[in-house]
Structure 1
Amino acid sequence: MVRWQPEARERLQKAALELFLANGFDDTTVADIAAVAGLTERTFYRHFADKREVLFGGQDIFQGGFTEAVDSAPADARALDIVADAVAAVCAPTGMFSEERRPHSRLRQKVIAEHPELQERELLKMASLAGTLASALRARGVTEPTATLAAESGVTVFRLSFDQWIAEGSVATLAEIERDLFEALRSLSP
């Protein structure tokens, strides 16, 4: 067998998602995933710690997109504007949520919605993102509770935008949706 497998990570993710949808998360094993991907279990474990990581791996890249945007914001920008720009950067059509990723994201969320343990993991991911954003804002000198309010608001807008983006029949881009939701958020206060 060849030691290096091209696109092994992507093949494992695709196989896992197909199996999770067909057989359920609990009834899918790492061995099943590796076999469908045409790889070994050892190769699976080189890329993922466990089968949950197929759905949640890459969180550091995800959070990094937000923090890079916060770090590069103008020094005099307001906290909510900084967060809005960070969400916009992550939701950009050329980023990790491109239109080509929408079908995959829909299927991923379907698997998560059907399993309470995965729902909890998704909530923890969002809570971690809010904490990371708040820390990045505090590092810029934003005081509390403003840093936490802005971070939590930004994560809420992102989450709602994502849910609308993956909804069946949705045609708007993630960037368009998040922009509209930030406008709605800003309209809540005079």
Structure 2
Amino acid sequence: MGRWVPGARGRLQRAAFELFAERGFEQTTVAEIATRAELTERTFFRHFADKREVLFAGQDALAEHIAAALADAPDDLSALDAAVLAVEASAEILGGHPAGPRARQAVIDAHPELRERELIKMEGLVAIIAEGLGRRGVPAAAASLAAASAVAVFRMGFERWIRAEDGASLDGCIRAALVELRAVTAG
């Protein structure tokens, strides 16, 4: 095996998800992930702090992408519409096919400590969006409410997308969730 192997991070992620599906998250070791990827444990630890990080590795890039989309949102949008537009941009990062996110979510859903980590990640998105709305001049309370609502819309849309059998798009599922939120609040 050479010193540098291209695509190591992706290979490690694929190997981890395969093993999580075959054996379960708790029964899978870092050594097994590295072996399946035909890499060393040392290489694994160059890319990930532990096996949980394989599941959450993209969260910083996702948050940055959402923040950038919010900053680029048209000025005439309401706080909620700007925040939802920002979370819709997640589709560019998460891709067009839900198989990978579906497998990831199945692992997270099966483990309380991973669900907790996922909730912390969602609260981090709320904070980032609220901060971005604040920079747009939205008062703090309204920014927090719009951000929390947008993340709730994202979560509902994401859940629908990974469970959809009809090839629905993530951004389409997010927009449908926003329509439902508006219907609930209109009554």
TM, length-normalised to structure 2:
0.94
Aligned amino acid, residue 29 of structure 1? T
Aligned amino acid, residue 8 of structure 1? A
Q: Which of residues 116, 119, 122 in structure 2 aligns to 1:120?
A: 116
Q: Displacement of 1:145 after TM fit?
A: 1.2
- 63-72 or 81-90: which moved more? 81-90
Q: Which runs of structure 1 show a deviation greater than 4 angstroms over 4 or more consecutive aligned residues? A: none
Write the deviation string for residues 8-60 of structure 1: whole angstroms up to 9, x where unpaired: 11110011111112212111111110001000011101111111010001211
- 42-51 or 168-177: which moved more? 168-177
Q: Which of residues 164, 182, 185 in structure 1 aligns to 2:181?
A: 185
State the partner residue of 1:96: 93
Determine the C-alpha separation between the residues in 1 that align with 2:139 and 2:42: 47
State the partner residue of 2:35: 35
Determine the C-alpha separation between the residues in 2 that align with 1:170 and 1:159: 19
State the partner residue of 2:154: 158
Aligned amino acid, residue 97 of structure 1? L
Aligned amino acid, residue 118 of structure 2? E
Determine the C-alpha separation between the residues in 2 that align with 1:110 and 1:84: 25
The answer (yes or no) to whether the contact 2:161–2:168 under 8 Å persists in 1 is yes
SS of equivalent to 1:188: helix
Identity of aligned residues (%): 49
Q: CA RMSD in A?
A: 1.4
SS of equivalent to 1:96: helix
- 72-81 or 16-25: which moved more? 72-81
Q: Give the unaligned 5+ runs of structure 2.
A: none
Determine the C-alpha separation between the residues in 1 that align with 2:126 and 2:44: 30
Structure having the larger proportion of residues in helix? 2
The answer (yes or no) to whether the contact 1:17–1:108 under 8 Å persists in 2 is yes
The answer (yes or no) to whether the contact 1:164–1:170 under 8 Å persists in 2 is no
Aligned amino acid, residue 96 of structure 1? I
Aligned amino acid, residue 46 of structure 1? R
SS of equivalent to 1:18: helix
Q: Displacement of 1:172 after TM fit?
A: 1.2
The answer (yes or no) to whether the contact 2:157–2:177 under 8 Å persists in 1 is yes
TM, length-normalised to structure 1:
0.92
Aligned amino acid, residue 136 of structure 1? G
The answer (yes or no) to whether the contact 1:15–1:36 under 8 Å persists in 2 is yes
1:134-173 superposed matches below 5 A: 134-167=130-163, 169-173=165-169
Aligned amino acid, residue 6 of structure 2? P
